[in-house]
Structure 1
């Protein structure tokens, strides 16, 4: 599907993907080293009450699952208009 073929309200379901705490920390160390992704004690004091995955990490995983769903077929979208 091309971007202009999507309509508001459409729903798509991908398969699921489970991240471990180790996955979250490994990614954060390299790409998003904020305390809420790395420091369990400090993260417990924050609004999420513990370590959370980086938004960059979850967006990348969402994109992976979306591509695996086959919606873009051979179209190269390169993250445009995300």
Structure 2
């Protein structure tokens, strides 16, 4: 499937761009992270600490083990704080 992957904050800085369109067979965001981390050193650095990673699939916050289904967009970002 084709997925639009969005990167925010420090992840965008490490990867080097805010988004990319990829073809993936990932079943979960965790699977997608593994595929992305293998793409470059910047991707590997962006996904080095999964405990500091949040994910949204089609603009809904999800756990890394949630099914991707027919997702069109997956966004990765660091934890957010309120205020």
Name the TM-score, length of structure 2 as normaliser.
0.31
* Larger relative helix fraction: 1
Higher strand share: 2
* CA radius of gyration, larger in: 1
Asked which structure has the greater RCO (Cα within 8 Å, sep 6+), the reply is 2
TM-score normalized by the length of structure 1: 0.32
